[in-house]
Structure 1
Amino acid sequence: MSLVTSHSPHGQSSLRTVQVLGGGSVASSAHVRSLAAGLVARGVRVTVCAPAEAERAYDFTGVGAEHVHVPRSSDPASVAALRSVCADADLVHAHGLHASFRTALALGGRRTPLVVTWHNRAHAEGARAHLLRMLERRVVRAATLVLGTTSDLVDRARRSGARDARLGAVALPGRREAERDDPDRLPPKILAELGALGRPLLITVGSLDPCRGYDVLLDAARVWRGLEPVPLVVIAGEGPLRAELQHRIDQERLPVRLVGCRDDVGELLAAADVALLTSRWESRSVLAQEALHARVPLVATRVGGVPDLVGDAAELIPYGDSAALADTVVRLLDDPARRAELARRGVEQAATWPTEEETIAQVLSVYDELTQPRPLT
C-alpha cells in the first residue's frame, strides 16, 4: 500500500517528511513553503528544518508544518540537531547544495530515502570552485534521487555521479496577477521618489553580487544616457557589491538607482517598460517568471535554464555583452509593437509552466515511489 495515501488510526497520513532548507534563496524558500502547504493539505506530516529567519519570512508553521531551527552551518551541533529531527522520518527532502550536504552528513549510513532538489547552481572560482564540485559529488552520491529545476542541472547531477536524476517541476508560488492596464498601479509619489516620472523605467531584481552581471548593466547604462528622455534603471536588492556599484554610478553619472530590498517589487515590476536579467547563470529565474506573468518585456542573458523557461517570449542576449544589452533595450523602447508582442507571448509562455498543484503532485508521486516497500529478492 502507498505510504502517501495510507492513513493511521487517527486519520492522518503515515508519511512523515522533513524538508531541509539552508539560508534559502527566494525561489527555494517560497517553493518549500508551497510544498509544505500542499503536503499538509493532503495529510502528510511535514517538519521544516531551516534558520529562524526563514521561518519569520515564510511562516512555515502558518501552513501547518512544524518548524525546527537549524542554523545555516555544517558544524557538529547543527548536523546533530538535524540528525535528531530526521531520526523517525520516512523521507527527507533537502533543497540546495549546502542544505543537502548537511543532510547527507546527518543521515550518515541510514537507509532513509533522501531527495535533493537543486534550484540553482553555486558559483565560485579557484579553490572554492574545487570545494563546491567536491560537495556536489558528495551530495548526489548520497541522494536517492536528485531533482533539478532545469535540464542542465539534471545533466550536471548525472555527470557528478547521481544514481537517479530527473527534471523536477517547480511552480512560482503565491503569484499575483499584475494589473498593467490600471493607471494607478504605482502611486505617482513612488515614481517621483525614484525619479521615474515621464521617462522609461527599466527594472532588475537580485542580490548585488558578481554573478548578476551588474557591471555589464552599468556599461550599457552609459549608452542610455544619450537617449531622450533618459531611461531610469532601478536595481532592487542588496549585497557585497553595493558600495562598488554606487561608486561607479556616482563617478560616471549613470541613470541608475540602487533601491535596496523592497517590499513593493511586484508593483515596481508592473510599472516597468522593460525588465532586465543580466546574470552569468540562472535556473528558473523568479524575475523572468514574474516579468512574463506581468506582461513586461524581458531582456535576458541566454544562459542556464533561461532559454527553456522563456522560449520566444523574451529578447535573449549573450552574457557579458553590454553592446547587445544596450542596443536591444534601445530597439525595444523605440518599438511599441514589439513590446506588445512580447507581452502577449509572455502570457502564453507562462501558461505552459507547471502549477503549484502539478508540482505537489509530482513530489507526492516521487515520495510514494521511494517509500513503497521493496519486494524481497
Structure 2
Amino acid sequence: MKILMVTRETQADRRYGLGRSLAPLVDEFQRRNIVVDYACQDDLGVRAMAWQRKLQRLLSGLFSPFNTDTDFPILIHVILERLNMGRLAARIAARHEHTHVHCHDPIIAAGFSFFSRFHPRLNARWGVTEHGFGCYTDAIHADGVRMGSRMLNWLRRWEARTLSAASWVVSPTRSALEQVAVGLKVAPVPTTWRHIYHARPMLNHYSREEARRRLGWQDDVLYILGIGRIAPVKQFPMLIEACARLKKQTDIQLMILGAGEHDSLQAMGKQQGLARDILFGSTDDVGLFLCAADLYVSTSASESFGLANLEAMAAGLAVLCTAVGGVPEVVGDGAQLVAPEPEALAGAMQQLLDDPELRQAIAQKGLRRAEAWPDIAEIADNYEKIYQ
C-alpha cells in the first residue's frame, strides 16, 4: 500500500489546519512501514501557478457579465486552486505508483478523477474526506463566497456526483457525515461513507507555573485562550464582544493563537473597550499555551470535529464551546456548552472565571474524556480498513 494525501493547504497552514490532524496519522502509517506522501500547494510549480492565474483571469472575464448573485472571480479562484491540486495529485500518483489517493476536499477529488484519464497506467483507488459540518459547497458559501441559488444547486450536484464515484467518503464525526448527506440530498447514507474520529492528541505538558514562566505571563492575570485560523467561521469578533462584557477587565487577558490578519480584531478590541490589547501568536507547541491558560473558549459558528477543543481537554484546561456542529458529539460532558451568541457566552465565561472550583471540575471531566478517546493506533486501523 502506498498512499498519497492531498490538501489545498500551504506548509504554513499546516500548523493549525488539516496538517495538524493528519501528521499523527502519517507518522503512524510510516511506523507500520506504509508509505505515505503528502501533497499541498507548495508542491505546485511556478508554471502551474502561472497557468492557474491566467485561466482565472480569462474565466473571470468571461463570467463577469453574469456577475449578479454570484461572485464569480472568487468562486473561480476557489475551484481552480483545488482542480490544480487534483491535477498535481494525478501526476504524482502516476509517477510514484501510489495505490491510494486520499483527497481532503471534494473539488480536489473531482480534479484528480478528471486528470487521471491522462495517465493510462495510473491505477489508484481514491476517496474523499469531508472536513466541514455539511457539504463542501455550503461551507464555501458560509465562508464568504457569494453564490446564487442556481450556482449552489449546480455545485451540490457536482459534489454529490464526485462522492458517488469515490471508493470511500470520510467525515470526522457521525453528525458531520449525516449533515453532508442532508446537504447533498443523499439517502440512505451509502455503506462506503464512514465517520472516523481524529485521534487523541499528543501534547507537551507543563505545570502552570513553568508554562507561564516560559511565556512571560503574569501570575495575577486570568488568561482566556482562543485557537484557530482567523476566519469568519471562528467568530473571534463574538469572543471579543463577550470579553468586553466581563467584569474586572484589568485582570483578564485574551490570547488568540491562529494565523491570519489580526489588525481588525485588535482594533475591535480597542473599540469594545478591552483594558488590555489582545495577544496574538502562533506556535508548534500548543500544549505550552493550554497549560498556561485559565480558560479555553471556542466561539465557532460550525465545526465538524473541533480538534483544538479536544486538545484543550487533553491538557486539563477548562473548556467552553459553542454547541455547534459535531462539537457536542466530541466533547460530551467534558466541556461547558453554550449558545453561539455574545450574551450567553459572556455569562458562561464570567461564571467560570469567578469560580475556580467549577473550572477545575469541568477540566477534570474533560481530561477523563480525552484520556478515554481513541488513540492513533485505533484510528489508523480504521483507515486501513477503508483503504483495503
Q: Same fold (TM over 0.5)?
A: yes
Q: Which amino acid aligns with 1:118?
A: E
Compute the displacement of 1:338 (Å).
Answer: 1.2
Do structure 1's residue 178 and structure 2's residue 196 form an aligned pair?
Answer: no
Q: Calculate the TM-score normalised by the size of structure 1.
A: 0.78
Cross-structure match for 2:166? 143
Q: Distance in 2 between matches of 1:276 and 1:165?
A: 31
Higher alpha-carbon deviation: 91-100 or 355-364: 91-100
Change (3 A) 1:339 1:91: same
Q: Equivalent residue of 1:308, what SS? A: helix
Compute the displacement of 1:281 (Å).
Answer: 0.6
Compute the displacement of 1:357 (Å).
Answer: 0.4
Do structure 1's residue 82 and structure 2's residue 108 form an aligned pair?
Answer: no
Q: Which amino acid aligns with 1:366?
A: I
Q: Distance in 2 between matches of 1:102 and 1:190?
A: 48
Q: Equivalent residue of 1:353, what SS? A: coil
Mapped contact 1:169–1:362 kept (Cα < 8 A): no
Cross-structure match for 2:35? 45
Q: Distance in 1 between matches of 2:205 and 2:219?
A: 20
Q: Equivalent residue of 1:73, what SS? A: helix
Cross-structure match for 1:297? 318
2:196 corresponds to which of 168, 182, 192 = 168
Do structure 1's residue 276 and structure 2's residue 297 form an aligned pair?
Answer: yes
Where does 1:128-277 land on structure 2 (aligned, <5 Å)? 130=152, 133-134=156-157, 136-159=159-182, 160=184, 161=186, 163=190, 164-173=192-201, 175-180=202-207, 182-187=208-213, 190-191=216-217, 196-224=218-246, 226-227=247-248, 230-240=251-261, 242-254=262-274, 255-277=276-298
Mapped contact 1:217–1:322 kept (Cα < 8 A): yes
Change (3 A) 1:218 1:103: same
Mapped contact 1:97–1:135 kept (Cα < 8 A): no
Cross-structure match for 1:113? 125
Change (3 A) 1:53 1:324: farther
Q: Distance in 2 between matches of 1:263 and 1:82?
A: 27
Count of aligned pairs = 328
Cross-structure match for 1:58? none
Compute the displacement of 1:363 (Å).
Answer: 1.0
Q: Equivalent residue of 1:284, what SS? A: coil
Higher alpha-carbon deviation: 325-334 or 33-42: 33-42
The Cα offsets for residues 148-183 of structure 1, whole Å up to 9 and x where unpaired, read as 10112211343434742111132145x225234x52
Change (3 A) 1:102 1:270: farther
Change (3 A) 1:98 1:171: farther
Cross-structure match for 1:103? 112
Mapped contact 1:39–1:45 kept (Cα < 8 A): yes
Change (3 A) 1:222 1:43: closer
Q: Which amino acid aligns with 2:89?
A: L
The Cα offsets for residues 87-129 of structure 1, whole Å up to 9 and x where unpaired, read as 3332221223443343333335987422212233434243188
Q: Distance in 1 between matches of 2:306 and 2:321?
A: 10
Higher alpha-carbon deviation: 229-238 or 352-361: 229-238
Mapped contact 2:295–2:320 kept (Cα < 8 A): yes
Higher alpha-carbon deviation: 309-318 or 92-101: 92-101
Unpaired runs of 5+ in structure 2? 45-79, 134-138
Q: Calculate the TM-score normalised by the size of structure 2.
A: 0.76
1:316 corresponds to which of 328, 331, 337 = 337
Unpaired runs of 5+ in structure 1? 1-14, 55-71, 369-377
Q: Equivalent residue of 1:106, what SS? A: helix
Q: Equivalent residue of 1:201, what SS? A: strand
Q: Distance in 2 between matches of 1:281 and 1:351?
A: 25
| Structure whose residues are more often helix by fraction | 2
RMSD of aligned Cα (Å)? 2.9
Compute the displacement of 1:137 (Å).
Answer: 2.1
Do structure 1's residue 334 and structure 2's residue 354 form an aligned pair?
Answer: yes
Q: Distance in 2 between matches of 1:322 and 1:97?
A: 34
Mapped contact 2:295–2:319 kept (Cα < 8 A): yes
Q: Which amino acid aligns with 1:324?
A: A
Q: Distance in 1 between matches of 2:263 and 2:157?
A: 33
The Cα offsets for residues 17-74 of structure 1, whole Å up to 9 and x where unpaired, read as 22222216535213333222222332323332223389xxxxxxxxxxxxxxxxx924
- Percent identity, please: 24
Mapped contact 1:96–1:118 kept (Cα < 8 A): yes
